[in-house]
Structure 1
Amino acid sequence: MKKFFAVIIILTSILISCTKNKEGCTPIAATDEKPAIIAFCTANNIQYTEHSSGIFYEIIDAGTGITPTINSRIFIYYHGTLLNGSQFDAQADPTQTGWYLNSLIDGWQKGIPLIKKGGRIKLIIPSALAYGCTGSGAIPANAPLYFDITLTDVIP
């Protein structure tokens, strides 16, 4: 019986070691991406503010309606690009969004509550607060992201 448990423990240890980060996946600290983000903001005339979380943002219109919370359902227009200008996503129809803020990337969870319903914000998000070292679809690993977002509706 002791040998059986020893084998189970060894197999469990091997299994756990195989579930670590994707091979070669090394996250980049937000502070390491800061120079590239500042250069992007400067080149694109973004009058940025640095948030304590590490995101950079410019509020174009603060909005006047409800401020979203982490548990709110949000409806937005947006487009997202890499810092080289390559667009990876866009949504022109806010009725197709209706996402819960707590289910979205950390950078959106920090940035979107800075505006109210009807507001518009530009977010520049370090990769650690986006898709990190794994990337997603057309977004490569360790890619800081730029979003232009208009918050059209909030359901608290």
Structure 2
Amino acid sequence: MKFAFLAVALTLTITSCKKKEESQENQENQQTVEVTDFSLKNDQEIKDYLTKNNLKAQKTDSGLYYIITEEGKGAQPTPESNVTVAYKGYFTDGNVFDQSEAEGITFGLRQVIPGWTEGITYFKEGGKGILLIPAQIGYGNNTMGKIPGGSVLLFDIHLIKVE
């Protein structure tokens, strides 16, 4: 009798562990698919925006798109630089979620989202342009204030100063 009870308890424990492992694997696979789906969806959203607005952009390996509208003449920042930038942040539908004053804000490029850390380095001091940032180098799946998780972020950029 003790053996039968032990066998049943052991079987239930093994089955329960296998189900937990399968459930965790399924959740991990679903999360991977969601991130991949955001990447593809974001890339298409950016391409559609560019087409609709008759814009031509450069695309980097990270998925960042950028447009230089006005070449600067000053220093070009590195990812370790401190910069002063005036900007307007908005979604592809035009809704603004953030905007600096005309004099800009000063920050270190290591203190911002990866899309900015990479994107600002394509500008020279005095330069202007647009960054089109997919979620994977923005806020990812995380909602940040007015920005829903998975969002494409656009920024009009004026690089005022490089330190």
Tell me which interval the TM-score lies in, with the shorter structure as reference length.
0.7 to 0.9
- TM-superposed CA distance for 1:49, in Å, is 1.3
- TM-superposed CA distance for 1:65, in Å, is 0.5
1:100-146 CA-partner distances (Å, limit 9, x unpaired) = 01111100111110011000121100011101101210000100111
Q: Match of 2:111?
A: 103
Describe the SS at the equivalent of 1:98: strand
Matched, 1:69 2:78: yes
Aligned ranges 1:1-156 → 2 under 5 Å: 26-27=34-35, 28-95=37-104, 97-155=105-163
Q: Match of 1:4?
A: none
1:41-64 CA-partner distances (Å, limit 9, x unpaired) = 111222111112111111112211
Q: Following the alignment from structure 1 to structure 2, what is the Cα–Cα distance between the partners of residues 44 and 123?
A: 14
Unaligned runs of at least 5 residues, structure 2: 1-30
1:70-97 CA-partner distances (Å, limit 9, x unpaired) = 11111011101011111000012335x1
Task: Specify the code of the residue in structure 1 equivalent to 2:122.
Answer: L
Describe the SS at the equivalent of 1:147: strand
The two structures, once aligned, show a CA RMSD in angstroms of: 2.0
Contact 2:128/2:157 (<8 A) preserved: yes
Q: Following the alignment from structure 1 to structure 2, what is the Cα–Cα distance between the partners of residues 32 and 43?
A: 16
Q: Following the alignment from structure 2 to structure 1, what is the Cα–Cα distance between the partners of residues 57 and 143?
A: 25
Contact 1:112/1:121 (<8 A) preserved: no
Describe the SS at the equivalent of 1:148: strand
State the identity %. 32
Q: Following the alignment from structure 1 to structure 2, what is the Cα–Cα distance between the partners of residues 31 and 121?
A: 24
Unaligned runs of at least 5 residues, structure 1: 1-23
- Count matched residues: 132
Task: Output the TM-score relative to the length of structure 1.
Answer: 0.78
Task: Specify the code of the residue in structure 1 equivalent to 2:155.
Answer: F
Q: Following the alignment from structure 1 to structure 2, what is the Cα–Cα distance between the partners of residues 94 and 106?
A: 23
Deviation >2 Å, runs of 4+: 26-32, 92-95
Higher percent of residues as helix = 2
Describe the SS at the equivalent of 1:80: strand
Greater Cα shift, 55-64 or 27-36? 27-36
Task: Output the TM-score relative to the length of structure 2.
Answer: 0.75
Q: Following the alignment from structure 1 to structure 2, what is the Cα–Cα distance between the partners of residues 94 and 30?
A: 34
